[in-house]
Amino acid sequence: MMVDTFSKGIVGPIVEDIYLGGTNDILEYEGIEGSEYTTFEFTRLLNTHDNYDNEISLGEIPISWSLHDSDDFTEKPNERGSANINFKTGEGKETISMIYYYVAGVGLIIIIGMYFLIKYVKNMRITKKRDNISQ
């Protein structure tokens, strides 16, 4: 199943265009599942004039994708990623999605917070020991 979607932010939510006032501009699509690869092909106009679609030009444009075990679009994807594809040369390069930066940033904040919490607890123990010795 392939749907025409739009992301409202860096990490979503991803919503079908039709629920935002846009249109489903995928004219036709096909998927072929092989033993090692799955290939999707679709047809749409280069410029759909839909506020929730980007114009496809002969330069580099960003795309994003996700794969699910089921056809239920609301389930969390098993895999996802993004890439920049140059429609003039046909070359593409994988990019690191902003979600990875977000998750890494949150992880770093948690680590720093734990460091300061441990330091605070150690200082409290030292202060208690000093108070007990001076009494």
Express each pLDDT in 80-89 by its tens digit. Answer: 777 888 888 8
Residue ranges of the alpha helices (H) in the chain?
A: 98-134
Do 132 and 115 sit in the same domain of this protein? Answer: yes
**pLDDT for the residue numbered 49:** 94
In 3D space, the residue among 70, 61, 64 whose CA is nearest the CA of residue 5 turns out to be 64
**pLDDT for the residue numbered 101:** 47
Domain total in the chain: 2
Q: Cα separation of 54 and 79, whole Å? A: 23
- Please, which pLDDT band fits residue 13 given cuts at 50, 70 and 90? low
Do 15 and 70 sit in the same domain of this protein? Answer: yes
Range of the domain at 12: 5-98
Q: Among the listed ranges 1-15, 59-73, 106-120, which one has the minimum average pLDDT value? A: 106-120
Which whole number is the average pLDDT over 97-103? 50
pTM, full prediction: 0.56
